[in-house]
Homo-oligomer: A and B are copies of this chain.
Amino acid sequence: MSVADSYPEASMATHPFFPPDLELPGYVANPTSVPILLALFAAGVGFVFSATVILARAVQASISKGKLYTAMWFMLCGCIHLFFEGYFAYHNAEMPARIDVFGQLWKEYSKSDHRYLTRDAFTVCMETVTAVAWGPLSFLIGWLTIKDHPLRYPLQLIVSLGQFYGDVLYMGIFFFDEAVHGAVFCRPERFYFWVYYVMMNGFWFVIPGWLIFEAVVECTKALRLAQEVGKRASPKSQ
């Protein structure tokens, strides 16, 4: 069953978002094809990963694989949060009309979530925090990981939890609004829901979930050691 079958008004829609009668003042269709947009995004990811590997190996030749992957992840997060999500936070009032590469990428993604085109209060606030706080901190963590700095794990815990919690609310509201208020934000095709919405956001559950666990374990180990060292130094005061 096609969209047009379930929603007769879809055939008259002036935009590809859902629901078809959603009003998007100033909307301009993307001039660039989807494969080219996705290739540009993938090229950006590849560039950030490559630059991080080169930088990390130059600063610490013997860096472990685990630290290298963590640094790559946070440098990518820094770029996506500060530049891509920062772009949305800054231009939230005029997203339907924007046709530069970031504007087109956001409109393509919005097929799975129209809240990025309608100044949804939660989406704008969450993305603003992500851009302003998690963005710069992600770059800092990437650098601290390469340098093996003790501040790395506490900041890793902060940013990963911020990403994880933001994602939980982002998805929770999506499903709650549909179940309770009948508000649907995603096109009905499985592709947009599973690939754009679930898979893209799924990365920010799985990887931060692991990094939260790792940071808790590392901090707890160090705090236990510090207690033992403290006890050995002054056994009577304990």
Contact = CB atoms under 8 A, between A and B. Distances in A.
B220 A151 contact: yes
A118 to B, nearest CB: 10
Given A125-B169, A226-B225, A229-B229, A153 B119 contact: no
A222 interface: yes
A71 interface: no
Contact of A122 (B129, B169, B219): B169
Contacts of A119: 180-181
A65 interface: no
Number of copies: 2
Contacts of A221: 150, 226
Interface stretch (A32-40, A46-54, A74-82, A155-163): A155-163
A199 B63 CA distance: 48
A146 interface: no
Interface of A: 93, 119, 121-122, 124-126, 128-129, 148, 150-155, 157-158, 161-162, 165-166, 168-169, 172-173, 176-177, 180-181, 212, 215-216, 218-227, 229
Give the 4 A-B residue pairs with the shortest CB-CB distance, closest first.
A150-B223, A125-B172, A222-B222, A222-B226
B219 A125 contact: no
A87 B213 CA distance: 29
Nearest to A170: B125
A166 B153 CA distance: 22
